[in-house]
């Protein structure tokens, strides 16, 4: 199987492929973000519901969209890297 996105040509990591399969979001949107290896921020999750992890991985281009959430900022950075994303610092980042 070729894991390339026909629009962007980047290979998806094994973690990214699994994430797309199990994502609650539109798989085409998630595949697009992951295949473009977008820049992401690690931010405090705005959802304080029980069982929701504290830190979110959000695209720099659309911080209202959550790619994934993790218990700690360090785990979120590791997760983003495993998905093939670039973690950046700057306005919007909470690292």
Domain ranges of the chain: 14-87
Question: Percent of the chain scored above 90 by pLDDT?
Answer: 63
- Say what the pLDDT of residue 66 is: 92
**pLDDT grade for 2, boundaries at 50, 70 and 90:** very low
The count of other CB atoms within 10 Å of the CB of residue 4 is 12
DSSP-assigned letter for residue 64: T
**pLDDT grade for 95, boundaries at 50, 70 and 90:** low
Q: What is the pLDDT averaged over residues 5-27?
A: 79
């Amino acid at each position: 199987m070729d894991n390339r996105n026909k629009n962007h040509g980047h290979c998806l990591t094994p973690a990214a492929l699994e994430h797309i399969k199990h994502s609650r979001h539109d798989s085409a949107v998630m595949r697009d973000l992951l295949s473009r290896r977008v820049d992401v921020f690690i931010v405090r999750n705005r959802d304080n519901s029980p069982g929701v992890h504290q830190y979110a991985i959000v695209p720099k281009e659309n911080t209202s969209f959550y790619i994934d959430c993790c218990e700690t900022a360090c785990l979120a950075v590791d997760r983003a890297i495993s998905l093939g994303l670039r973690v950046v610092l700057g306005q919007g980042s909470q690292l």
